[in-house]
Chains A and B, each alone.
Chain A
Amino acid sequence: MNKTQCFKAAGAVAIVAMLTAAGPALGAGQSPMLDALVQSGEIPPLEERLPANPLVLDAESIGQYGGTWRMGMNGGGDNGLIAKTVAYEGLVRFDREWQTVIPNLAESWEANAEATEYTFKLREGVKWSDGAPFTSADIAFTVEMYQDPEYAASSWIDNINNPATVEVIDDLTFKFKFNRPNGMLMDEMASVNGIHITSLQKAYCSQFHPSYNENAAADAEAAGFSSWALHLQDRCAWGWETIRFANPDLPTLYAWVLDQPLTANASRVTWKRNPYYWKVDSEGNQLPYIDRLDMRVSQGGVEELTLAALNGEIDFQERHIATNVNKPLFFDGQEQGGYHLGAVIPSASNTLVFQLNFSHDDPVKRELFQNRDFRIGISHAIDREEIVDLVFTGQGEPYQVAPRPQSPFYDEELAKQYTEFNPELAIEHLEAAGLTEMNGDGVRLMSDGQPVRITVDVISALRPEWIDILEIMQLQLAAVGVEIELNNIDRTLFYEKRPSNDYDAQVWAGDGGLEVVQEPRYYFPFSDESVWAYRWAQWFNGTRPEIAEEPADWAQEQMELYRQIRSSSDPDERADLMRQILAITKEQFPVIGVSLMPDSYSIIRNNLRNAPETMFNAWLFPTPAPMDPVTWYFE
């Protein structure tokens, strides 16, 4: 079933209208909540608040104003929830099928043939939540801040390999220029990373920077900060940084503005509608329909949140609570709780990616881990059906680290190769890799006479099922003479071990099942998350030249292809190049997968309208925000 069919089958997802030529009547309606404010003169009337050309969202039905969308945050550091519900307002965005890039704050754009210059035109009359106009000057200021080394933010704007420079043409028109071709810029800007460029208002944030305010350092000190940089980061934090949502004074372009901010002691984070929001429905009514958001903040556990959801105190949520184990509970509670379950398709391809360190310090292990036969042998020794049955109650199927069936890059052979459980075949391949001898304990011996013992780093706190899977794999691999040892560690240590090259193997989930071109970490040595070839990835990215290693020829070939993708402005050509990369991945089989990440689910209150019955769940495509929660309403 491909992506389109899947959505048709669900049959409930509306089609997003882009800019309609026949514009609706402007200023047709606003929330009753704002009427009093207009009458008292606190805010101007609707037609003066809306842009000349507001973004029109066509939803399944025209809604009514009012209500509070209740959801839950997990612990203090759950800024991701806000990024995925409120903060996804970049210059452009993805359509609901995650296929094409469509306008958002920018009305139109064009790129030159070399993909080094992009010209954007902003919507005229869009206003920040404080009523000040949003212009090219804000974009230029944001670029300046991101590129200031004292301002701690990293993104595509200040990417050391290809930083953006901005040229302001007029109030509404500006150009991004790059030294090297940047063919994937639009995909990057439509993803969650597009939030960066629209996150700072010049008028407000410039007061904290010494270039604009000579007293910035003194002001910072008066506010209790040791430097202006810390003060700036506190008041005007980047993109979706936690501390950003602790400042209710920061002007934004979101549909809702902060009411009770996210502080260390907040038990709720609440939002109320932004009177200056710049999107309308097809009849010209100002969005959002829902007046308020209420995010209850848990103290780090999800038990209360789970019960609240069962009790009908959550209106729409997938994050945190939709675990495999809870599914029967939520299924049975539908009637009592007044909600139903929606389908959620994860973007991750695999439940567990087994990554052997190709650049191991021990030359014997390095040679062994780079040996394709060794990896094939391990793969055939895993009884994936047993793992799916025991750990995932039968949900999912044996799968390699490969694009998901919903992806246009789906390749059955890549997804299924070597997944057959066959110990004889496994032993054949292990012997072909030179592991012919065994010691008294039945463990195979490497070329230096040492037994094959692989320590696998894992963070069970992140996904408890990893331990379950690995313990089963441990028994299965022991049966063919390969010993793995589980090393359950903290996340910080997990990351520290990478640059110091102090690991045999690490496991993680299979990101990149849908976002194949943007997140190819397992298909070739792409980023720091390509743990299997961390040092090769450094060679590719140039971030830590002191530890970079020259990759194998096939990986260099892939890197070259990816460079071509980056410099191509033609989506079809990029897809074709990506398929060539995947063909090499299939041939080389760098990492071992276990099973397809099973579908998840969302809790949808029965009186919530226009909410998606089917959606993807990803980070780059920060659902549910691309499903336009501003058009949801309560009946």
Chain B
Amino acid sequence: MVGFIVRRFIAMLLTLLAVSIVAFAIIQLPPGDFLTSYIAQLASTGDQVDPRVIENLRAQYGLGEPFYVQYWKWITGVVQGNFGHSFEWKRPVWELIWGRIGNSILLEGLAVIVMWFVALPIGIYAAVRKYSLGDYLSTILGFIGLAVPNFLFALILMYLAYTWFGTTLGGLFSPEFEMARWSLPRVWDFLSHAWAPVLVLATAGTAELIRILRANLLDEMKKPYVVTARAKGLPEWKVILKYPVRLALNPLISTIGWLLPALVSGSVIVSVVMNLPTAGPMLLRSLTTQDMYLAGAIILLLSVLTVIGTLISDILLALIDPRIRYGAR
């Protein structure tokens, strides 16, 4: 088991190195740099920026240097925990993103928990009572959840809250709690705001999970060992939960690693629409303004999370499924 984890860990570091190069290269792909987009922004309000001023700025920011020099400077800083400065905000990147990443993990973690809590029972029920009324209902709801784009669902929810209850859904805190320290009232305030985005973020994933679980379980339930267990007189709930459900969970666990990045990228538009201070909108803005160290740090951190997620799912899989544990020599 230890050897397994060590090997995985080394692979993880190599992957991250590759990701950092690719991320940095992609951020540099669009024409121009932060300054050209800055000038474009100024110009649209009628300002003319003196070319000499631009040259000075470019030198101050170190933007004129070749790609590998910029990358080397950046990555050696990152290794020492220095992610560089954001051009737009003139602040260390780390200072800007930790709160955002925290919000993202919190919100999306909640969404994942809600997803599992809703999807697991429904999925099992739908498989066990195949073609019952309940199965059809959950299938219909599931497909609607899958088919409605998240941002549209968010918009509808916001509009209904406005017309029915006269409240504006959006944000994560009321103004008086925004700057406050964590406390019980603040947690309550957070929950009273967070339910809507969590619901929105969880819907599409829930539907997907229900379908996967139902299909997996249906496959397993036909197998002889289930019939044997039943014939031996095990109670029905034990027959289902102890064997086929455990096996049907395999594909779910192996995708934990992808959940986070999928949720982060999928939540960009939802965050913009519902005004959530998560990493998504900041990544979007840093990409449009070509604030490359900020964008690079966010992408790198998301990849770290993905890779860690994959590692966790590998370990979990090994734990619940002996075949994987012993197969991995």
Mark A residues whose CB is within 8 Å of B.
Answer: 75-77, 80, 149-150, 152-155, 158, 160, 224-227, 229-230, 233-234, 242-243, 246, 260, 263-265, 267-268, 294, 298-301, 303-304, 307-308, 310-311, 313, 336, 462, 490-496, 511, 519, 527-529, 543-544, 619-620
From B3-11, B53-61, B132-140, the one touching the partner chain is: B53-61
Contact (Cβ within 8 A) A154 B273: no
For residue B100, CB closer than 8 A to chain A, the reply is yes
Sort chain B's interface into a size bin. 35 or more
Minimal beta-carbon separation of A597 from chain B (angstroms): 16
Measured between beta carbons, the chain A residues less than 8 angstroms from B277 are 265, 267, 299
Cβ contact within 8 Å between B56 and A152:
yes
Interface of A is mostly: loop
CA–CA, A233 to B61, complex, Å?
12
Q: How many A-B residue pairs have CB under 8 A?
A: 151
Contact A268 B168 (CB under 8 A): no
**B228 interfacial contact with A, CB 8 Å:** no
Q: Smallest Cβ distance from B283 to chain A, in angstroms?
A: 11
The residues of A that contact B49 with a CB separation of less than 8 Å are: 154
Q: By the criterion CB–CB under 8 Å, are A75 and B285 in contact?
A: yes
Since A260-B179, A298-B272, A311-B162 are in contact, a sample of 14 more A-B pairs with Cβ atoms closer than 8 Å, ordered by chain A residue number, is A150-B60, A152-B56, A154-B49, A230-B60, A243-B89, A264-B88, A264-B96, A298-B275, A299-B271, A299-B275, A303-B170, A304-B169, A310-B162, A529-B46
Q: Which of B240-275 touch A at CB < 8 Å?
A: 271-275
Q: 1/0 contact trace for B172-212 toward A, CB 8 Å? A: 01010011000000000000000000000000000000000
Which stretch in B31-39, B63-71, B113-121, B314-322 binds the other chain? B31-39
- Assess whether A242 is in contact with B168, with CB atoms less than 8 Å apart: no
- Indicate whether A76 sits within 8 Å of B88 (C-beta atoms), given known contacts A149-B52, A496-B36: yes
CB neighbours of A233 from chain B (8 A)? 90
* Shortest beta-carbon distance from B138 to chain A in Å: 30
Pick the contact of B171 from A267, A492, A519, A544 — CB < 8 Å?
Answer: A267
- In the complex, the answer to whether B166 meets A299 with C-beta atoms within 8 Å is no
Q: Is the CB of B37 within 8 A of A152?
A: no
Whole-angstrom CA separation of A248 from B169 in the bound complex: 30
| Beta-carbon contact of A495 and B50 below 8 Å | no
- Nearest Cβ in chain B — how far from A101, in angstroms? 19
**Distance between Cα atoms of A80 and B46 in the complex (Å):** 12
Contact between chains at B89 and A264 (CB < 8 Å): yes
Which interface residue of A152, A294, A519 has the most chain B CB atoms within 10 A? A152
Q: How far is the CA of A253 from the CA of B233 in the complex (A)?
A: 85
CB<8 Å pairs between A and B, sample of 14: A154-B48, A154-B49, A154-B50, A160-B52, A246-B90, A264-B282, A265-B99, A303-B158, A303-B275, A304-B158, A304-B170, A492-B37, A494-B40, A528-B48
Task: Please give, as numbers and ranges, the residues of chain B lying within 8 Å of A529 by CB-CB distance.
Answer: 43, 46
Name the residue on A nearest B55 (C-beta): A149
Q: Is the CB of A301 within 8 A of B272?
A: yes
Q: A307-B158, A307-B159 are in contact. Are A264 and B48 (CB under 8 A)?
A: no
Q: B residues engaging A (CB < 8 A)?
A: 30-32, 36-37, 39-41, 43-53, 56-57, 60, 85-86, 88-92, 96, 99-100, 155, 158-159, 162, 166-171, 173, 175, 178-179, 271-277, 281-282, 284-285, 288-290
A304 touches B89 (CB 8 A): no
A158 to B179, CA, bound (A): 40
Nearest CB of A to B179, in Å: 7
Select from chain B the residue with minimum beta-carbon distance to A490. Answer: B30
Chain A residues near B43 (CB-CB < 8 A): 495, 528-529
Contact present for B46 and A619 (CB under 8 Å): yes
Q: Are A242 and B60 in contact (CB under 8 A)?
A: no
Q: Is the CB of A492 within 8 A of B32?
A: yes
A462 to B45, CA, bound (A): 13
**Given known A76-B285, A527-B48, contact A307–B60 (CB-CB < 8 A):** no
Inter-subunit contact A299/B60 (CB<8 Å): no
For the complex of A and B, list the 10 residue pairs with the smallest distance between their C-beta atoms, beginning with the closest. Answer: A299-B281, A304-B170, A301-B272, A495-B40, A304-B275, A492-B37, A234-B90, A492-B32, A264-B96, A264-B89
A529 to B48, CA, bound (A): 9
Nearest B residue to A148, CB-CB: B56
| Cβ–Cβ contact B53 & A77, under 8 A | no
Closest to B45 in A: A619
How far is it, in angstroms, between the C-alpha of A158 and the C-alpha of B158 when the chains are bound?
A: 49
Contacts of B48 in A (CB 8 A): 154, 527-528, 543
Complex Cα spacing A462 to B40, Å: 12
Find chain B residues with CB under 8 A from A152 CB.
53, 56-57, 60
Q: Are B50 and A300 in contact (CB under 8 A)?
A: no
Chain B nearest CB from A539 CB (Å) reads 15
Bound-state Cα–Cα, A499 to B159, Å: 45
Question: Contact: A246 with B89, CB < 8 Å?
Answer: yes
Q: How far does the alpha carbon of A158 sit from the alpha carbon of B56 in the complex, in Å?
A: 15
Q: In the bound complex, how far is the Cα of B48 from the Cα of A544, in angstroms?
A: 12
Asked whether, in the complex, the Cβ of B39 is within 8 Å of the Cβ of A543, the reply is no
Give Cα distance in the complex from A269 to B250, angstroms.
48
- Please tell me if the beta carbons of A263 and B89 are within 8 angstroms of each other in the complex: yes
CB-CB under 8 A from B158, the residues of chain A are 303-304, 307
Contact status of A150 and B168, CB under 8 A, knowing A265-B96, A519-B46: no
Among residues of A, the one whose C-beta sits closest to the C-beta of B100 is A265
Please pick, from B53, B85, B100, B179, the residue contacting A154 in the complex, using a CB distance under 8 A.
Answer: B53
Find chain A residues with CB under 8 A from B47 CB. 154-155
A229, B60: Cβ atoms closer than 8 Å: yes
A446 to B155, CA, bound (A): 50
- Cα of A527 to Cα of B43 in the assembled complex, Å: 10
* Contact call A496/B90, Cβ cutoff below 8 A: no
Q: Which residues of B contact A543 (CB under 8 A)?
A: 48, 50-51
Q: Determine which residue in B52, B167, B168, B169 has the highest number of CB atoms from chain A within 10 A of its CB, and name it.
A: B168
Nearest to B173 among chain A residues (CB) is A267
Kindly provide the distance from the CB of A472 to the nearest chain B CB, expressed in whole angstroms: 25
| A491-B40 contact given A267-B178, A311-B168, CB 8 Å threshold | yes
- Cα–Cα distance between A419 and B190 once the two chains are bound (Å): 57
Complex: A313 Cα to B275 Cα, angstroms: 15
Instruction: List chain B residues, Cβ under 8 A from A267.
Output: 171, 173, 178, 275, 277
User: Measured between alpha carbons, how far is A344 from B225 in the docked complex, in Å?
Assistant: 75
Q: Which residues of A contact B166 (CB under 8 A)?
A: 311, 336
